[in-house]
Structure 1
């Protein structure tokens, strides 16, 4: 399927400030539910280390909860980024990844509210910003190489972004730019916590967890207006979550969302979306339950876009769940050995 020459672009080093990666492949954040009472254990540490040992350039952890209660995330096995047990667990995760020669970011997360964000008081908003700031400080303290702030898929920050869930009439609501205020305050607070050299990423999306045709912006020009205050707040790298990397973000151009973000901001971007899997996306997989939807397939089209400079890094999710050695197999041309993604991969930590 691929030879060494065709995948060479994937294995070029990447540098962003003090961050130096051996290749362009990122392990995407994927919630695993294997951290009892919010504390990752030895099995979680081994899971992440295994991907670093097998060539992943950068790991972005599953979402880790900030220290603020919400009404949605009653999930006791999702990890925290606060509390002694959780932080000790993450220290061991980071240590293992670094010993294996890898790099790792913590994704920090608040799931949000059911409905809309209009009931948050300004006091509670201040408390949320402080909780994100604490999480960023904790990430740096335990040795992570950077953070990614989760602002996609209809979770808390995205609820402030979207006009259908944010109809506030104060300074946290209003037009597209005004609806970025909460996110900007979170980013600024995280920057205060970690200093100027520590990488801060932001994950955004058009689609929501239960509304796949939703759009934050309808045009490239609206996207530019939306991104400007986020860049000004201190984002170093954008991770644009899309369901299929090959789909254009807007009519009249082949650029996907990551491509447009890079065009407008000049910042490095990460693309994602059914990388290395045949046909169907994550949602379709669950709808049909067919294992064939997870068959490995060619990544030539993805590499062509990378070579053109449409984006800088490529996040791989399900393919890396199914096959910890995916990166090395791609590099060595052993594509006939790639393992398909199945439901079993979701239920097993290996």
Structure 2
């Protein structure tokens, strides 16, 4: 059997395959509440045959949204819409996950189709104050964030824990803490954004403290038989920024807390969130997943321009990662798992899809074979 279609046990949760729908912001929420667009968006992937799917970055406070179109879990009323998505995924045999986070100094931006720039702070544009480890703007002419005090940091730890409790009530099987792409937790870890001199700045141990407090709080309330993921930016790719060795140290500390999987992305501390400032090519972030997996002895998820089933299979077969996350590729082809099953020679590849489709497609394949 292809490695891509082997089950993976994470604590008491068994994934039917190694294909993961990465969290993808849809900017379609209304007041932090998910809408029918989100439900339809996720139905495509549930039918397509992935083993695990994550709902988009979900803000733990209203000010933690990237844009006004971002979803949230800062109040109990937001549980029901997300529960509908989680229930739908599980009805198709796909584990349901959700990513929670806070945009930090990258919050309060226009919708991407309106340019995505920081809101100007005028009376009519709906801007809100941003926060960070230090009063350093994320980009030239960007808003200067408010420096969080230790008391405010503690309040944000509580906000993450409260959001995790709501995610659990919504029925999610797993949760991912967003610690990448220049958002709040990453900004504390990176020396580019963090110039503090207290217990949350200076040494790597101090800069990691906020992220570890959040991770400990989430892990403490999340059921012991269910996994917790952590998304990191493995490197800043900026002189003086976060290095891979730093992130390996972070991964080791997260493992000690009980985090189960490191989702390995990169970049975003300044400039574009998901495209690191180095050469981008197919599987360009896989070496980070491999290094963290081998040196921190923790499961990893590879992500980033993994477009072809053969590449995904190679990554798993060579022990570079334990899971393969896809985003834009699944937007382009939500039936990518089915295509992978066909290309990799899985027995009964049609069985990757629901029986409503599988029987008809098996008959189609037989007709084509006889033609």
Distance (whole Å) between structure 2 residues aligned to residue 315 and residue 61 of structure 1:
13
CA contact (8 A) 1:185 1:233 kept: no
Tell me which residue corresponds to 1:313: 323
Q: Does residue 1:137 correspond to 2:165, yes or no?
A: yes
The structural deviation recorded for 1:217 is 4.0
TM-score (norm 1): 0.78
Q: Does residue 1:274 correspond to 2:305, yes or no?
A: yes
Distance (whole Å) between structure 2 residues aligned to residue 319 and residue 74 of structure 1:
23
SS state at 2:31 partner: helix
Q: Residue 138 and residue 200 in structure 1: after superposition, are their counterparts in 2 closer, same or farther (change >3 A)?
A: same
Q: Residue 263 and residue 78 in structure 1: after superposition, are their counterparts in 2 closer, same or farther (change >3 A)?
A: same
Tell me which residue corresponds to 1:174: 202
Deviations 1:258-302 (A, max 9, x none): 1111112222110011111xxxxxxxxxxxxxxxxxxxxx44244
108, 117, 120: which one aligns with 2:133: 117
Tell me which residue corresponds to 2:366: none
Deviations 1:138-179 (A, max 9, x none): 111110011000000110000000011111111111111221
CA contact (8 A) 1:46 1:93 kept: no
Distance (whole Å) between structure 1 residues aligned to residue 227 and residue 254 of structure 2:
14
Distance (whole Å) between structure 2 residues aligned to residue 316 and residue 215 of structure 1:
30
Distance (whole Å) between structure 1 residues aligned to residue 84 and residue 239 of structure 2:
39
Q: Does residue 1:104 correspond to 2:132, yes or no?
A: no
Q: Does residue 1:147 correspond to 2:192, yes or no?
A: no
SS state at 2:330 partner: helix
Distance (whole Å) between structure 2 residues aligned to residue 274 and residue 193 of structure 1:
34
Deviations 1:211-263 (A, max 9, x none): x656754454x443333222222211100014546447xxxxxx701111111
Tell me which residue corresponds to 1:30: 24
Q: Residue 115 and residue 122 in structure 1: after superposition, are their counterparts in 2 closer, same or farther (change >3 A)?
A: closer
The structural deviation recorded for 1:68 is 5.2
Tell me which residue corresponds to 1:303: 313
SS state at 2:63 partner: coil
Q: Which runs of 5+ in 1 are unaligned?
A: 249-254, 277-297, 336-350
3, 25, 28: which one aligns with 1:9: 3
258, 264, 270: which one aligns with 1:240: 264
Q: Which runs of 5+ in 2 are unaligned?
A: 106-129, 135-146, 267-274, 276-280, 346-371
Distance (whole Å) between structure 2 residues aligned to residue 257 and residue 74 of structure 1:
26
SS state at 2:256 partner: helix
TM-score (norm 2): 0.74
The structural deviation recorded for 1:318 is 0.4
CA contact (8 A) 2:164 2:218 kept: yes
CA RMSD, Structure 1 to Structure 2 (Å): 2.3
My pick for the range that moved more, 227-236 or 317-326, is 227-236
CA contact (8 A) 1:172 1:182 kept: yes
CA contact (8 A) 2:289 2:321 kept: yes
CA contact (8 A) 1:106 1:147 kept: yes
Distance (whole Å) between structure 1 residues aligned to residue 46 and residue 132 of structure 2:
39
82, 93, 100: which one aligns with 1:90: 82
The structural deviation recorded for 1:183 is 0.5
Q: Residue 95 and residue 302 in structure 1: after superposition, are their counterparts in 2 closer, same or farther (change >3 A)?
A: closer
CA contact (8 A) 2:235 2:243 kept: no
CA contact (8 A) 1:177 1:225 kept: no
Tell me which residue corresponds to 1:64: 58
Q: Residue 74 and residue 12 in structure 1: after superposition, are their counterparts in 2 closer, same or farther (change >3 A)?
A: closer
SS state at 1:105 partner: strand
My pick for the range that moved more, 310-319 or 60-69, is 60-69
Tell me which residue corresponds to 1:194: 222
Q: Residue 128 and residue 214 in structure 1: after superposition, are their counterparts in 2 closer, same or farther (change >3 A)?
A: farther
Distance (whole Å) between structure 2 residues aligned to residue 197 and residue 148 of structure 1:
15
Q: How many aligned residue pairs are there?
A: 296
Tell me which residue corresponds to 1:263: 294
CA contact (8 A) 1:66 1:80 kept: yes
CA contact (8 A) 1:270 1:314 kept: yes
